[in-house]
Structure 1
Amino acid sequence: MHGPTLDAIKAARRAVQGDLIEAPVLPLTSARWDGILPDCAGVTLKLELYQQAGSFKARGALLGLRGLDPAQRAAGVVAASGGNHALAVSWAAQQAGVDALITMPRATDPARIAGCRALGATVQLYDDMAAAFAAMNAAAEQGRVLMHPFEADHMILGSATCGLEYAEQAPQVDTFVIPIGGGGMISGMACAIKQARPESTVIGVEPVGADSMSQSFAAGAPATLERVATIADSLGAPYAMPLTYAVARAHVDRIVRISDADMLRAMGQYQDVLRLTAEPACAASLAAITGPLRDELAGRHVGIIACGSNISLDRYAALMAALEGRA
């Protein structure tokens, strides 16, 4: 068995459900979606951006913090991230009463830096993500517990609680379209969905410029990218890793790739129809079904996810200006 069992997923959900939000699902039936959505039997959206700390990452982070022993709690935790994982670990550490150190690139959206500090975390800034990861590793060598953004059992298990929740909330959905960054979300969600609803199809979505899981599927082993080039910083993992790759390979049917332009367009559609301020990763599922998957979804009940949206208005405005420039 690759990934957690259904019993383990249900137990994890019971353990943290008092502190997490059961993110709602929304059928996209408004006439305002006419001409945007594919000609399929229906589209359902899970609004995981309303989760604690603003993304699905809160699920796994809370499970990870809850699993620390007394010595680990006393030592504190460390995470390197420029995005949703940083906020999730900061929030979960605050909930658990554990000291958190977050190492981030200087170019990180200021709203994310401020959010981590507001949650009580200590934030250290570095020239780039490589330096932030080096600082994280150094802090772990000195005794802090490393909270990896995806390659961890608790992160997969947290995402699995989201997958099971979605399968139960939307029993009509037969095709789930899920974004891929490092693989923590899709591995956990797909593992849960395929156990709860074996007949379902799970399709992953990656940016063209950050397609480490697509390359891994093609190679039959975790792959490393020479460079990452995408506006979706939350999906910009430079490599796949053994644990999440194995779980994803066992449960994901296929992966499609989307361009930055696809995500920008979907961000605009979310704003126009739902007044939803989506970061690029948040719009990836919508970008896939209105882009490369559009012509093959006829007759299907499709489930997409708005996985998180921690983005400042300045950053959002800059990206939307880029969309206007492409028009």
Structure 2
Amino acid sequence: MTHAAPDTSDISLEAIHANTDTLARDVRRTPCLTLDSGVVSDMLGGGQAVLKLECFQHTGTFKARGALSVARGLDQAQLTRGITAASAGNHAIAAAWAARKVGASAKVVIQSNANPFRIALAKAQGAEVVIKAPGPDTFAEAERLMAEEGRHFIHPFEGPLTSLGTAGVGLELMQDADDLDAVIVSIGGGGLISGVAAAVKQINPACKVYGVEPMGAAGMQKSLAGGGPVTLDGVNTVADSLGAPMTLPLGHALCAAYVDEVVLLDDDMICAGMVAFQQEAKLAVEPAAGAALAAALGPLRARLSGLKTGIIVCGANIDVATYQMLITRGLPVYDALLATHG
């Protein structure tokens, strides 16, 4: 049985502007800075890397935008019953923050393999946290909370309000960085790239939009190749924020309309991207953010030579011990990149 493609017209440029204006009093307009690194510029053939620093957003990631966009759309009865979410960590933190902003309670479900640092951050935002096994069990518990407690489910990556929220990242980038030739966005379930790509392409159709996924969680690449959403048999990547087990119709449709290509990286290269951020930008980021710069310096390097490229630095919620481990893993790969280039 085939289903009609979802309507993407709700994610119009006019709607993106309106939603971004509505969120402006609570969401930070994050900095947009050209990376001052001769090493990166040289590797990009004299090109520029422009960083959109969503790692400085409330809750430490871009997730605050989509979560608040959804929360702002709830009526009083829904606010009274509260919200729930299913997450590997970052979305739960953002959903709890958004609930607090609109005066609702939050009971969020976090995967048992989530970093304890992120669980603590969700609790610090005032959420009651329920721990469940990764994948179906996490979503099933959120569904139970919807059915038994009447809580509104804030989806981690799917829905028009989520994409309108994340589209603010692309809108701000295009307003603050003139004449971008390309934009690179990491992909989990597609919530970030669906919004960013919609904004970028409607402002400048000539600007390329590249997505990047881990080899062990290549859902969007498979979706685009197959012409529809997919569910993965399993996920295996150090970039837990990019480990969505499926893609869904609206995210897929927006990516099919606006994303030029999705490239894949192995985990070692993702860790090398974290090293590049540390060495060249003095930024400590999580693997999902490292993937975007790694894609620029790896599989996309030749195509970006001499160009001005926006890179979405999507988040930095990572504890010291895990950061040290991943940086140590990525350092030889980054050194090899430099040696090969030199």
Q: TM-score range by the shorter chain?
A: over 0.9
Partner of 1:302, secondary structure, is strand
| Pick aligned residue for 1:268 from 272, 275, 289 | 275
| Pick aligned residue for 2:107 from 91, 101, 124 | 101
- Partners of 1:25 and 1:44 within 8 A in 2: yes
Q: Distance in 2 between matches of 1:325 and 1:302?
A: 25
| Pick aligned residue for 1:298 from 300, 305, 309 | 305
Matched, 1:218 2:225: yes
Deviation digits for residues 243-290 of structure 1, max 9, x if unmatched? 110111011111111111111111112112222111100111101010
- Give matches, 1:58-207, under 5 Å: 58-142=64-148, 143-207=150-214
Q: Distance in 2 between matches of 1:102 and 1:17?
A: 25
Farther-moved stretch of structure 1 (74-83 vs 22-31): 22-31
Deviation digits for residues 91-146 of structure 1, max 9, x if unmatched? 11111110001111222111111111111000011233432221111111121101
Q: Distance in 2 between matches of 1:223 and 1:238?
A: 9
Q: Distance in 2 between matches of 1:227 and 1:129?
A: 9
Partner of 1:11, secondary structure, is helix
Structure-2 residue corresponding to 1:39: 45
Q: 1:9 to 1:324 in 2, by over 3 A?
A: closer
Matched, 1:250 2:257: yes
Q: Give 1:219's aligned amino acid.
A: G
Q: Distance in 2 between matches of 1:5 and 1:40?
A: 34
Q: Distance in 1 between matches of 2:100 and 2:46?
A: 43
Partner of 1:123, secondary structure, is strand
Partner of 1:94, secondary structure, is helix
Give 1:152 deviation, angstroms.
1.3
Structure-1 residue corresponding to 2:36: 29
Q: Distance in 1 between matches of 2:309 and 2:40?
A: 14
Q: Distance in 2 between matches of 1:325 and 1:33?
A: 17
Q: Give 1:80's aligned amino acid.
A: A
Q: Distance in 2 between matches of 1:106 and 1:321?
A: 25
- Partners of 2:238 and 2:267 within 8 A in 1: yes
Deviation digits for residues 2-31 of structure 1, max 9, x if unmatched? 251111111111111011111111111333
Q: Give 1:300's aligned amino acid.
A: L
Q: Distance in 2 between matches of 1:146 and 1:99?
A: 12
Q: Distance in 1 between matches of 2:84 and 2:209?
A: 32
Partner of 2:246, secondary structure, is coil
- Partners of 2:37 and 2:281 within 8 A in 1: no
Where do 5+ consecutive residues of structure 2 fail to align? 1-6, 336-342
| Pick aligned residue for 1:12 from 19, 23, 29 | 19
Ranges of 4+ aligned residues in structure 1 off by more than 6 Å: none
Q: Distance in 1 between matches of 2:233 and 2:135?
A: 15
Q: Distance in 2 between matches of 1:299 and 1:228?
A: 35
Structure-1 residue corresponding to 2:57: 51
Q: Distance in 1 between matches of 2:235 and 2:32?
A: 32
- Partners of 1:40 and 1:297 within 8 A in 2: no
Deviation digits for residues 161-197 of structure 1, max 9, x if unmatched? 1111111111121111111110111111111111111
Partner of 1:224, secondary structure, is coil
Give 1:80 deviation, angstroms.
0.9
Give 1:149 deviation, angstroms.
0.4
Give 1:40 deviation, angstroms.
4.2
Q: Give 1:7's aligned amino acid.
A: E
Q: Give 2:279's aligned amino acid.
A: D
Q: Distance in 2 between matches of 1:171 and 1:121?
A: 40
- Partners of 1:40 and 1:301 within 8 A in 2: no
Give 1:34 deviation, angstroms.
5.6
Give 1:325 deviation, angstroms.
7.8
| Pick aligned residue for 2:291 from 284, 303, 309 | 284
- Partners of 2:41 and 2:47 within 8 A in 1: no
Q: Distance in 2 between matches of 1:281 and 1:40?
A: 25
> What is the number of residues matched between the two proteins?
326
| Pick aligned residue for 2:8 from 2, 12, 33 | 2
With normalisation by structure 1, the TM-score equals: 0.95
